[in-house]
Amino acid sequence: MTVADKRNRACAKLLADVHAITATEGITPSTLHALKLKLVALAGKAALFPPADFAMPLAEGRNHPLLVEDNDGHGLYLAISLPGKEAAPHDHGIWCVNASVSGRERHRFFRRTDDLSRPGHATVEQVGEVMLAPGTGMAMADHDIHSTEVVGDDPAVSLALYGYALARFPSVAWYHPRFGSVRTSPSRRHAAMA
């Protein structure tokens, strides 16, 4: 059996486990923690994800689909982010779980502090931080806010599991703490479903 065959089998097993867990418990903090542990275990099998099988990004980052389900199914990706890549605080609008294969990526977590009364205005404050490195992971509920930053001189390689595939993401909210503003990207859900 090839490495790709073993990887595909391991990814299919992970998604089967994810569905078994969420079918009985739904999406709760405890199920997200359970999913994170499953993803950390898979990411720990670094031999399934040899660098030669995944092209490096030309700039900043790249997501390689590992298993993308149809319709409203989940998306599992191998993400490669180059040293120095950053993403401003944002809310995916859907839950996600990440686990490190190699490298280090800092995830800072925020909560919104304004009253949502002014369109385009938002204030956020940091409430936590996790350094993703091999053996660690993180989980976020559907409206949690985080920022990312690759730390060190090596690319950050991680597994990312989302409640929806990237092509069917809802609108993403991007927060700019320095300016007290927020902007949203268009939802991909209707275009993907058409």
Of 130, 190, 134, give the one whose Cα is nearest residue 157.
134
Between strands 104-112 and 96-102, the pairing is unpaired
Q: Taking a C-beta distance cutoff of 8 angstroms, is the pair 191, 166 a contact?
A: no
Structural element, H or E, at residue 184: strand 181-184
Token digits of residue 78: 């191998």
Strands (DSSP E) found in 34-166: 61-68, 75-81, 86-91, 96-102, 104-112, 124-132, 137-140, 145-151, 156-162
What pLDDT, on the 0 to 100 scale, is given for residue 75?
A: 94
Number of domains in the chain: 1
Q: Which residues contact 191 (CB under 8 A, 6 or more apart)?
A: none
**DSSP-assigned letter for residue 52:** G
Q: Taking a C-beta distance cutoff of 8 angstroms, is the pair 56, 80 a contact?
A: yes
Q: Which residues contact 123 (CB under 8 A, 6 or more apart)?
A: 112, 113, 114, 177, 180
Neighbour-count burial for 121-152, b at 16+ CB within 10 Å, e otherwise = ebebeeeeebebbbebbbbbeeebbbbbbbbe
CATH code for the domain of 69: 2.60.120.10
- In this prediction the pTM is 0.92
Per-residue pLDDT of the chain (194 residues; tens, 9 = 90+): 999 999 999 999 999 999 999 999 899 999 999 999 999 999 999 999 999 999 998 888 899 999 999 888 899 999 999 999 999 999 988 999 999 999 999 999 999 999 989 999 999 999 999 999 999 999 999 989 999 999 999 999 999 999 998 888 888 889 998 899 998 887 776 554 44
Q: Taking a C-beta distance cutoff of 8 angstroms, is the pair 120, 183 a contact?
A: yes
**DSSP-assigned letter for residue 61:** E
Q: Whole domain around residue 90: which residue ranges?
A: 3-193
Give the chain's largest Cα–Cα span.
57
pLDDT in tens, 92-109: 889 999 999 999 999 999
